[in-house]
Amino acid sequence: MRFSANLGFLWADRPLPDAIRAAKAAGFDAVECHWPYDVPSEEVVAALDETGLPMLGLNTRRGDVAAGDNGLLALPGREVEARAAIDEAIAYGARVGAGKVHVMAGFSEGDEARACYEANLRYACEQGAVHGMTMLIEPLNRHDAPGYFLKTTSQAKEIIESVGAPNLKLMFDCYHVGRTEGDIVTRLGELLPIIGHIQFASVPDRGAPDHGEINYRMVFSAIEALGWSAPVGAEYKPGGETDATLGWLSDFG
C-alpha cells in the first residue's frame, strides 16, 4: 500500500514547500493539497523536484469563505466565479504536475443547482482534458458540511453518468462515506470503475487511521485486493504535531 500526504491537514503549520519535504522525510509516496494558490508554483515545483514526490491533486477555491462558501460549481448565478476557479486550479495544477482537481460543489440543492453543477462539470472536464487531467467530485458528510450539494456516493454516480465525461471521477473519502453511508468495503468494490482517488481518516473524529470505528487494516487490504495501486490519501486532522501521529504509516505501509 502506498500513501499520499494531504498537506491541507498534515504539516499545515509549515509553508507548503517545507511540508512537502516533511512528507518525504516521513516516508510518504506522494502529496496532495487543498488550496495552494498563495504559494508561487515554482517553489512547489522545486520542492517536488528535490524530494521526487508527485503532487497528485488540489481543490478549486471555495469562494467567499467568510460568507460561508464551500465551493462554487453548484451555485446558480455564480458561473463566472466557478469557471474562473476551475481555470485557476487547472492552470496551477498543470504547472506543478498535478493530475487531478477536486472541483467543489458548494452549498445548494434542487434541480437548478444540479443543472448548474453539471454544466460547470462539463466545462471543467473539457478544460482539464487539454492537460490530461481528471476532475474529481467528492460527497461530503451531513455532519461536517450540512447543506452541501453532493451528499452521497449514489448521487455522485448519477451525476458522473449524466455528465458522461471520461475524465470525471469520484473522490472516495472513506471518512465521509463512513460517517454518512457506511459499508465502505462493499461500496469501494461497487464504485471502483468510477473512482479516481481514495482518501481516509478515522471515524468519527477525523484523526489518524489507527483508532475509531473503521478497521483500516481491513480496508487497506480490501483496496489492494481490488487491484488499486495508486497512493491513497491521508486526509486526517492530526490535532497537534503531525509527526507524533504517524505510527500507522509503518504499521500499514
φ, ψ for residue 61 (rounded to 5)?
-60, 150
Give the closest residue to 141 by CA, choosing from 131, 130, 152: 152
Buried b (16+ CB within 10 A) or exposed e, 152-179: bbeebbebbeebebebbbbbbbbbbbbb
Rounded-to-integer distance, Cα 52 and Cα 72, Å = 33
For 182, left (φ over 0), alpha (ψ -120 to 50), or beta? left
Catalytic residue set: 138, 235
Burial of 92 (0-12, 13-18, 19+ CB in 10 A): buried
Peptide bond into 204 cis (omega under 30): yes
Rounded-to-integer distance, Cα 234 and Cα 184, Å = 16
177 to each of 48, 145, 180, how far by Cα in Å? Answer: 31, 13, 5
Cβ–Cβ contacts within 10 Å for residue 126, how many?
A: 13
Length of the chain (residues) = 253
Rounded-to-integer distance, Cα 144 and Cα 153, Å = 16
